[in-house]
A = this chain, B = another copy of it.
Amino acid sequence: MEIQVAAAKVGKYASRESGDTLEMIERPKGGLSLVLVDGQHTGRGAKNISNLVARKALSLLAEGVRDGAAARAAHDYLFTQHEGKVQATLTIVSVDLVSETLLLTRNSPLPAYIVRPDGVAELAAISPPVGLYRHTRPVIDELPLEPHTIAVVYTDGLPLAGVRRGETFNVRAAVERLHASGLANAQTWADRLLAEALDCDEHRPSDDISILIVAVLPRQGSDEARRMLVRMPL
């Protein structure tokens, strides 16, 4: 078995900076956690907010705090700092090697998708963003760590792709299409979803778009090495 993570991230067209933050950290007892945050508005202000939320969640996860508690703490922190005036969506995807589960912890109005050989499941339960209301709680989905499981998570720039032309991007339909085409690695999922969204947006994204794929697959490589690749155009 192997875990594959693929992320692709573009900023709003003509905006200097994406307001989304994506960070990864190794879990202290094994496995990894990915934290995806979309800060309110765009540009520098949004980036500061998403950084703040991601950093809080990340530092707690790194200390072994469980995902739900880390999400609550990130909320409390933002709520306290900004007195309920600033919001962000927060999604944590964890591969937990202790419980042998894939864990999705979401404070987001957007559904996530779980793709398995027998079809696409929508995690439709939504939850309030962090920062706005006093007792905000995340929705948590826990899945067994089984090969051929692909989690698809994203920020609202993805469904908003095409909005300038009066259209929106149907994420579920796109995920179904990719599932039908039998894609088998995380990178292709992320690249295809991003390419379709950019086409919809005529390559000038109406909002920051971040796509995160976490896949549990049969082992594909021949060696035991863990690998990470990052590409960051300047």
Contacts and interface: CB of A to CB of B under 8 A. Distances in A.
B228 A230 contact: yes
A51 B28 contact: yes
Interface in A104-151: none
A6 B223 contact: no
A233 B224 contact: yes
Contacts of A229: 4-7, 186-187, 227-230
Contacts of A48: 28
Interface in A5-45: 5-11, 17, 21-26, 28, 30, 32
Contacts of A4: 229-232
A58 B61 CA distance: 13
B22 A51 contact: no
Contacts of A88: none
Contact of A227 (B6, B97, B226): B6
A222 B16 CA distance: 18
B234 A97 contact: yes
Contacts of A62: 51, 55, 58-59
A230 B227 contact: yes
A12 B1 CA distance: 20
Nearest to A230: B5
List 7 A-B pairs, minimum CB-CB distance, nearest first: A5-B230, A3-B232, A7-B228, A229-B229, A9-B226, A2-B233, A1-B234
Interface of A: 1-11, 17, 21-26, 28, 30, 32, 48, 51, 55, 58-59, 62-63, 95, 97, 186-187, 190, 194, 198, 219, 221, 223-234
Given A6-B227, A21-B26, A228-B230, 20 more contacts: A4-B229, A4-B231, A5-B228, A5-B230, A8-B226, A9-B225, A17-B30, A23-B25, A23-B26, A26-B51, A32-B230, A55-B62, A58-B62, A97-B234, A194-B225, A219-B234, A221-B231, A223-B233, A226-B230, A228-B231
